[in-house]
Structure 1
Amino acid sequence: MTDIPNVRLIGIDFEREGKSHGYIGIQHSTTRSCYYWVPLPITCIKNSSGPTVLLISGIHGDEYEGQIALSKLAANLQPVDITGRVLILPMANFPAAKTGARTSPIDDGDLNRLFPGEANGSVSQQIAAYMEHALMAISDFVIDLHAGGSSIMHVAAAIVVAEEDAVRFQQQMALAQAFGAPYTIVYASRSQPHFGKIALTASARQGAIAIGAELGGAGSVTSNSLSLTELGLIRVLHKIGVLAGISNAPPPMRTQVLSSDRPDTMIWAMEAGLFEPAVTVGSSVRRGDVAGRIHVVDSPGYPSTEYRFDEDGVVTVARFMTQVQRGDCLYRIAFRPGHSPGSHE
């Protein structure tokens, strides 16, 4: 493992057979506690030889399905159940997860924009560095669980940042199919400027086959979204070959593949006000359809502004919070196979 000087392991040994719980400690001196370390909880379950799977949630602290599902898995999964090694990191950005925020209250770090991190950087940069150069570096597979957080709803979907190598891409798609979400959204690896800084591409840099998932949002959890998360994890672990025995999970539903290979698939608020949505996640839309309206309520008689979709597609992201400022994302869409910009499906 790469040496990250301000990181220590407490109660955990990734080479030990059996099951252990512990912490990744990130040194952070404060007025309240001069020798404090930020404790990232982690579980290692190891039995014999086999692939290593890293399960991540809490990269954004206000996304909860993954945190609950991985907490339950860490408690219930036993060494006898697996062949290989499973690493479970349920609160990757621990300071953010403890406060229920997207970013860290220590340094305002968005962990999913900081990979590969810096060994001597801020707390969030050190977390990113340790995750990529220590955890991802020893992993054969990585599953990164997300949701829409406090501000948006996201359609339930497996997420694939497409590998350029055809064999690796097929492995990604096989895991996405096994996860069994209603949608699988495939992003071209260079379609977004920040993709080089996210956990999925960091995992790929270290040689792991990685997929993500988006599983709800609005800062909440439903029984349906949690069930999808838990069953998806079981099916993926079986697909990889780590989970022994016969799965009790039902077979995955057929997933609808969408592509999002351009950065201009969002509608942005251009003024502050109250947002009235016209559609929600999963809606099929056509170019020219009304997306919603923004009302400037504190200016009596001021006309509302209407927003329309520029493309045909499926709504994958919809704003949940009604109050908006200029620059807030209102919607994001993805496309069915065969779509070309400007075309009608």
Structure 2
Amino acid sequence: MQKVELIATATFGLESVVAEEVKHLGYTDVKVENGKVMYTADLSAIARSNLWLRTADRVRVKIGEFRATTFDELFEQTKALPWSDWIPANATFPVEGKSVKSTLFSISDCQAIVKKAVVESLKKTYKQDWFEEQGPLFKIEVALLKDIATLTIDTSGTGLHKRGYRERIGTAPLKETMAAALILLSRWKPDRVLIDPFCGSGTIPIEAALIGQNIAPGMNREFASESWPIIPKDVWRQARAETHDLAQYDRKLEIVGTDIDEEVLYIARENALEAGVEDQIHFQRMAMSELRTKKKYGYIICNPPYGERLSERREVERLYREMGQVFGKLDTWSHYVITSDEQFEQFFGRQASKKRKLYNGNIKVDFYQFFGPKPPRIQRPETSLDHD
């Protein structure tokens, strides 16, 4: 099967998490840059990457890369790329663009030139002057960075955070990809309790359940590249069969999501049902201040209110102080909190074991990690052998 160059795009700060996922899929030729993870693999990697990557935004196939400081250079080098290897005569192929620190800064002009160049390239192969564009979608992107143009085709379609289970969301939703990243960064183990005391519409608990049972996040959705003639149907069939073979539906998990809003908990339960993990999560109406448990060595992973508006500021500060008191009583637990508040540690009353800069949408945030003690290792009883 032919080799292809793939790019898994990533939210800033999550590149290493995406790279780890790519390697876990068995792909070793991995390079990491800002906002993307690049790797070389066969065509089956397009299907497997889309189905399995929990923290990537989307998967693109790289068609070419070159330096371009004039529109003529952009046109001629784009035209020279092997577009007909990928794009059939009936394809729909819109062009998107972005330009950062490049001579060619007009995105609309760059898009128009790339579109024209691709059409000219396809004309030569298919011996036709007009393309109706009524077939499968091949969304092309021209990305210019410091005068280097990278031409890619999006294999995902809708972004990978759209798992298909979240029909309704709360007021301050966390993207599914970010929720999965927080869980993976915490190194949570499926045999440990996990609580989200600000669960909202249930994204963190649901993503934890999918991880805990090794359910592929893309199992129940479709992707743009499923209709591409270049990828044999058997490739997708085998990739989807693999997701069913590797899922561990019988593994029991102890995941709890609490919130003070009963209406949003109703949405969370609906979402968990849609994701097929409703039996693995206990949702309960509860104020964070009421959180108690006799369980030990568990994990709290949460996305509390940030207090972005001045009017909410004092209330959020009080909440963070209360979190410090409540979480502090769970002294064997590990606590993980994402917030944009740079004074969080001060209000919480403890310094984080580790802090990681991330972006929740356009909001710059920190992921505060408070590591708890490791549970004691279970000692196996020694066996004595009688000798004659």
Q: TM-score scaled by structure 2?
A: 0.23
Q: TM-score scaled by structure 1?
A: 0.25
Q: Which has the larger radius of gyration?
A: 2
Structure with a larger share of its residues in helix: 2
Structure with a larger share of its residues in strand: 1
